[in-house]
Amino acid sequence: MRILAVFAHPDDEAFGPSGTLSGYALTGHTVRLVTMTRGEAGTLGPAQHLSREELGRLRSGELRCSAAALHLSELLIHDYPDGKLSELPAEEGVNILRREIEAWHPDILITFHCGGISGHPDHQAISRWCIQAVREEGVPPRLFAFGISEEQARRAHNRGLIPIPDDEITHVIDVTPYLKYKLDAIGCHQSQSAAWEKMKHLEGSIESYFRNEHFSQVWPESFSRMCHGRLED
What pLDDT does residue 194 have? 81
Q: Which residues make Cβ contacts (< 8 Å) with residue 172, sequence separation at least 6?
A: 212, 213, 214, 215, 226, 227, 228
What pLDDT does residue 217 have? 96
* Domains of the chain and CATH, by start: 2-228 (3.40.50.10320)
pLDDT along the chain (233 residues), means of 10: 98 97 98 97 80 93 98 98 95 95 96 95 97 89 97 83 95 97 96 80 83 96 70 83
What pLDDT does residue 223 have? 57
What pLDDT does residue 224 have? 60
What pLDDT does residue 48 have? 81
What pLDDT does residue 191 have? 92
pTM value is: 0.94
> How many whole angstroms separate alpha carbon 219 and alpha carbon 144?
7
The kind and range of the H/E element at 146 are: strand 142-147
First to last CA, the chain: 13
The residues facing 31 across adjacent strands are 3
The kind and range of the H/E element at 91 are: helix 90-104
Would you list the DSSP string of 189-209? Answer: -GGGHHHHHHHTTSSS-HHHH
